Amino acid sequence: MFKNLCVAHRGFSGKAPENTLAAVRMAIALPYVRWMEIDVQMSKDGVPVVIHDYSLDRTTNGHGKVKDMDWAQMKRLDAGSWKGRAFKGERVPSLEEVLDLSKGRLHLNIELKTVGNLYPGIEKSVINLISSKGMKDEVVLTSFEAGALQRVKEVDPRMNTGLIFDSRSGDPARRVQELGCSFLSISFARLNPNLAKLLTEQGVKVMAWTVDKAKEMRRLADMHSDIMICTNRPDVWGDTFLGV
Protein backbone atom coordinates (compact mmCIF):
# COMPACT_ATOMS: atom_id res chain seq x y z
CA MET A 1 0.00 0.00 0.00
CA PHE A 2 1.20 3.54 -0.77
CA LYS A 3 2.62 5.64 2.05
CA ASN A 4 3.40 8.79 0.11
CA LEU A 5 2.19 11.56 2.38
CA CYS A 6 0.31 14.53 0.94
CA VAL A 7 1.88 17.95 1.62
CA ALA A 8 -0.33 20.96 0.83
CA HIS A 9 1.88 23.52 -0.92
CA ARG A 10 1.27 26.96 0.63
CA GLY A 11 -1.97 25.45 1.91
CA PHE A 12 -4.60 24.32 -0.60
CA SER A 13 -3.22 26.86 -3.05
CA GLY A 14 -4.85 25.31 -6.10
CA LYS A 15 -8.25 26.49 -4.85
CA ALA A 16 -7.52 29.25 -2.28
CA PRO A 17 -5.05 32.16 -2.24
CA GLU A 18 -1.64 30.75 -1.31
CA ASN A 19 -0.24 31.16 2.21
CA THR A 20 -3.51 32.51 3.65
CA LEU A 21 -5.67 31.22 6.48
CA ALA A 22 -8.30 30.27 3.88
CA ALA A 23 -5.76 27.99 2.17
CA VAL A 24 -4.72 26.54 5.54
CA ARG A 25 -8.31 25.81 6.56
CA MET A 26 -9.04 24.14 3.21
CA ALA A 27 -5.98 21.91 3.65
CA ILE A 28 -6.94 21.01 7.22
CA ALA A 29 -10.46 20.12 6.05
CA LEU A 30 -9.03 17.20 4.02
CA PRO A 31 -8.34 14.38 6.50
CA TYR A 32 -5.58 12.87 4.36
CA VAL A 33 -3.48 16.07 4.31
CA ARG A 34 -0.87 15.43 6.99
CA TRP A 35 1.68 18.12 6.13
CA MET A 36 1.68 21.67 4.82
CA GLU A 37 4.44 23.80 3.33
CA ILE A 38 4.45 27.56 3.99
CA ASP A 39 6.88 30.45 3.46
CA VAL A 40 8.01 32.86 6.17
CA GLN A 41 9.58 36.30 5.95
CA MET A 42 9.73 39.26 8.36
CA SER A 43 7.91 42.56 8.44
CA LYS A 44 9.91 45.75 8.89
CA ASP A 45 9.21 45.63 12.64
CA GLY A 46 10.31 42.02 13.00
CA VAL A 47 7.05 40.03 12.89
CA PRO A 48 7.34 36.63 11.12
CA VAL A 49 4.76 36.71 8.30
CA VAL A 50 3.57 34.02 5.90
CA ILE A 51 4.12 35.08 2.29
CA HIS A 52 6.17 33.68 -0.60
CA ASP A 53 7.39 36.57 -2.75
CA TYR A 54 9.85 39.15 -1.50
CA SER A 55 7.49 41.69 -3.08
CA LEU A 56 3.90 42.32 -2.01
CA ASP A 57 2.72 43.05 -5.54
CA ARG A 58 1.66 39.64 -6.89
CA THR A 59 -0.47 38.31 -4.04
CA THR A 60 -1.74 41.49 -2.33
CA ASN A 61 -3.04 44.93 -3.24
CA GLY A 62 0.08 46.39 -1.64
CA HIS A 63 3.31 47.41 -3.33
CA GLY A 64 6.99 47.19 -2.49
CA LYS A 65 9.07 44.79 -0.44
CA VAL A 66 7.82 42.72 2.48
CA LYS A 67 10.83 43.81 4.52
CA ASP A 68 9.92 47.49 4.14
CA MET A 69 6.38 47.34 5.57
CA ASP A 70 5.34 47.22 9.23
CA TRP A 71 3.02 44.42 10.33
CA ALA A 72 0.24 46.87 11.26
CA GLN A 73 0.15 48.05 7.64
CA MET A 74 0.65 44.63 6.08
CA LYS A 75 -2.21 42.95 7.91
CA ARG A 76 -4.65 45.47 6.40
CA LEU A 77 -3.78 44.45 2.82
CA ASP A 78 -6.09 42.31 0.69
CA ALA A 79 -4.30 39.05 -0.07
CA GLY A 80 -7.25 37.20 -1.55
CA SER A 81 -8.92 39.15 -4.37
CA TRP A 82 -6.25 38.18 -6.91
CA LYS A 83 -7.43 34.57 -6.59
CA GLY A 84 -11.14 35.32 -6.89
CA ARG A 85 -13.98 37.44 -5.60
CA ALA A 86 -14.88 34.85 -2.96
CA PHE A 87 -11.57 35.53 -1.20
CA LYS A 88 -11.80 39.32 -1.11
CA GLY A 89 -10.49 40.60 2.22
CA GLU A 90 -8.31 37.57 2.97
CA ARG A 91 -5.19 38.80 4.77
CA VAL A 92 -1.47 38.07 4.93
CA PRO A 93 -1.28 35.98 8.11
CA SER A 94 1.37 36.10 10.76
CA LEU A 95 3.27 32.88 11.41
CA GLU A 96 1.68 32.83 14.87
CA GLU A 97 -1.81 32.69 13.35
CA VAL A 98 -0.86 29.77 11.11
CA LEU A 99 0.79 27.91 14.00
CA ASP A 100 -2.32 28.34 16.14
CA LEU A 101 -4.54 27.01 13.36
CA SER A 102 -2.25 24.08 12.50
CA LYS A 103 -1.22 22.86 15.95
CA GLY A 104 -2.18 19.24 16.47
CA ARG A 105 -3.67 19.08 12.97
CA LEU A 106 -0.82 19.39 10.46
CA HIS A 107 2.93 19.08 10.49
CA LEU A 108 4.59 22.13 8.96
CA ASN A 109 7.46 22.54 6.54
CA ILE A 110 8.33 26.20 7.11
CA GLU A 111 10.58 27.66 4.44
CA LEU A 112 12.74 30.51 5.67
CA LYS A 113 12.59 32.89 2.68
CA THR A 114 15.86 34.71 3.08
CA VAL A 115 19.01 35.44 1.12
CA GLY A 116 22.26 36.25 2.87
CA ASN A 117 21.46 38.60 5.73
CA LEU A 118 18.16 39.89 4.34
CA TYR A 119 16.32 39.17 7.59
CA PRO A 120 18.76 39.32 10.53
CA GLY A 121 17.44 37.23 13.41
CA ILE A 122 14.66 35.50 11.48
CA GLU A 123 15.86 32.08 12.59
CA LYS A 124 15.74 32.98 16.30
CA SER A 125 12.36 34.72 15.99
CA VAL A 126 10.78 31.76 14.22
CA ILE A 127 12.28 29.19 16.62
CA ASN A 128 11.16 31.17 19.67
CA LEU A 129 7.61 31.30 18.31
CA ILE A 130 7.54 27.58 17.51
CA SER A 131 8.95 26.76 20.96
CA SER A 132 6.41 28.99 22.72
CA LYS A 133 3.63 26.98 21.05
CA GLY A 134 5.20 23.64 21.99
CA MET A 135 5.38 22.67 18.31
CA LYS A 136 9.04 21.74 17.76
CA ASP A 137 8.09 18.13 17.03
CA GLU A 138 5.52 19.27 14.44
CA VAL A 139 7.85 21.48 12.40
CA VAL A 140 10.85 21.33 10.07
CA LEU A 141 12.60 24.55 9.05
CA THR A 142 13.82 24.49 5.45
CA SER A 143 15.81 26.84 3.24
CA PHE A 144 17.84 27.12 0.05
CA GLU A 145 20.32 29.08 2.19
CA ALA A 146 22.93 26.93 3.94
CA GLY A 147 23.72 29.88 6.21
CA ALA A 148 20.14 30.04 7.46
CA LEU A 149 20.15 26.32 8.27
CA GLN A 150 23.45 26.69 10.12
CA ARG A 151 22.04 29.60 12.14
CA VAL A 152 19.00 27.49 13.07
CA LYS A 153 21.32 24.83 14.52
CA GLU A 154 23.28 27.52 16.39
CA VAL A 155 20.08 28.76 18.02
CA ASP A 156 18.69 25.27 18.71
CA PRO A 157 20.72 22.18 17.73
CA ARG A 158 17.63 19.99 18.23
CA MET A 159 15.49 21.83 15.69
CA ASN A 160 14.63 19.76 12.62
CA THR A 161 16.10 21.31 9.46
CA GLY A 162 15.83 20.60 5.76
CA LEU A 163 17.76 21.65 2.67
CA ILE A 164 15.83 22.85 -0.39
CA PHE A 165 17.70 21.66 -3.47
CA ASP A 166 17.06 22.59 -7.09
CA SER A 167 20.50 22.52 -8.67
CA ARG A 168 21.22 20.50 -11.80
CA SER A 169 24.57 19.56 -10.31
CA GLY A 170 25.96 18.80 -6.88
CA ASP A 171 25.34 16.07 -4.35
CA PRO A 172 22.20 16.71 -2.27
CA ALA A 173 22.80 13.65 -0.06
CA ARG A 174 26.24 14.94 0.89
CA ARG A 175 24.99 18.50 1.49
CA VAL A 176 22.19 17.27 3.74
CA GLN A 177 24.73 15.32 5.79
CA GLU A 178 27.17 18.25 5.98
CA LEU A 179 24.44 20.58 7.22
CA GLY A 180 23.03 18.12 9.76
CA CYS A 181 19.63 18.09 8.08
CA SER A 182 16.96 15.42 8.52
CA PHE A 183 14.89 16.54 5.51
CA LEU A 184 15.43 17.19 1.80
CA SER A 185 13.00 19.30 -0.22
CA ILE A 186 13.72 18.72 -3.90
CA SER A 187 12.14 19.47 -7.27
CA PHE A 188 10.39 16.30 -8.44
CA ALA A 189 12.26 16.53 -11.76
CA ARG A 190 15.59 16.23 -9.89
CA LEU A 191 14.62 13.12 -7.92
CA ASN A 192 15.60 9.60 -8.92
CA PRO A 193 15.13 6.16 -7.31
CA ASN A 194 18.77 5.81 -6.20
CA LEU A 195 18.77 9.16 -4.40
CA ALA A 196 15.42 8.48 -2.76
CA LYS A 197 16.61 5.07 -1.55
CA LEU A 198 19.94 6.42 -0.27
CA LEU A 199 18.36 9.25 1.71
CA THR A 200 15.57 7.20 3.26
CA GLU A 201 18.10 4.58 4.35
CA GLN A 202 19.97 7.40 6.08
CA GLY A 203 16.77 8.43 7.90
CA VAL A 204 16.26 11.59 5.82
CA LYS A 205 12.69 12.53 4.87
CA VAL A 206 12.37 13.37 1.17
CA MET A 207 9.74 15.76 -0.15
CA ALA A 208 9.22 16.26 -3.90
CA TRP A 209 7.73 19.51 -5.19
CA THR A 210 5.55 20.75 -6.81
CA VAL A 211 3.48 17.86 -8.18
CA ASP A 212 -0.03 18.58 -9.46
CA LYS A 213 -0.58 15.81 -12.02
CA ALA A 214 -1.77 12.32 -11.11
CA LYS A 215 0.72 10.74 -13.52
CA GLU A 216 3.71 12.35 -11.75
CA MET A 217 2.29 11.47 -8.33
CA ARG A 218 2.07 7.83 -9.33
CA ARG A 219 5.59 7.91 -10.79
CA LEU A 220 6.97 9.19 -7.48
CA ALA A 221 4.98 6.61 -5.51
CA ASP A 222 6.44 3.87 -7.73
CA MET A 223 9.93 5.33 -7.20
CA HIS A 224 9.76 5.03 -3.39
CA SER A 225 6.92 4.67 -0.92
CA ASP A 226 8.41 7.21 1.52
CA ILE A 227 8.62 10.20 -0.87
CA MET A 228 6.36 12.98 0.40
CA ILE A 229 4.35 14.61 -2.38
CA CYS A 230 4.05 18.39 -2.18
CA THR A 231 1.15 19.68 -4.26
CA ASN A 232 -1.03 22.70 -4.94
CA ARG A 233 -3.83 20.18 -5.54
CA PRO A 234 -4.28 17.86 -2.57
CA ASP A 235 -7.66 16.96 -4.10
CA VAL A 236 -5.80 15.38 -7.04
CA TRP A 237 -3.68 13.43 -4.54
CA GLY A 238 -6.91 12.19 -2.94
CA ASP A 239 -8.37 11.15 -6.30
CA THR A 240 -5.13 9.41 -7.27
CA PHE A 241 -4.46 7.39 -4.13
CA LEU A 242 -7.80 7.15 -2.34
CA GLY A 243 -10.34 7.54 -5.11
CA VAL A 244 -12.12 10.31 -3.15
Annotated catalytic residues are 9, 52
| Contact indicator for 18, 226 with CB cutoff of 8 Å | no
| Contact indicator for 138, 108 with CB cutoff of 8 Å | yes
In the chain, the amino acid numbered 119 is Y
In the chain, the amino acid numbered 158 is R
153: exposed, middle or buried (C-beta count within 10 Å: 0-12, 13-18, 19+)?
middle
| Contact indicator for 229, 220 with CB cutoff of 8 Å | yes
In the chain, the amino acid numbered 27 is A
H helical segments located in 114-225: 122-132, 146-155, 172-178, 193-201, 214-223
DSSP β-bridge partners for residue 32: none
Q: How far is CA 44 from CA 6, 118, 167, 217, in A?
A: 34, 11, 31, 39
| Contact indicator for 146, 167 with CB cutoff of 8 Å | no
Task: Say how far apart CA 126 and CA 133 lie, in whole Å.
Answer: 11
How are beta strands 228-231 and 6-9 bridged, if at all?
parallel
| Contact indicator for 181, 163 with CB cutoff of 8 Å | yes
Q: What is the DSSP letter of 3?
A: -
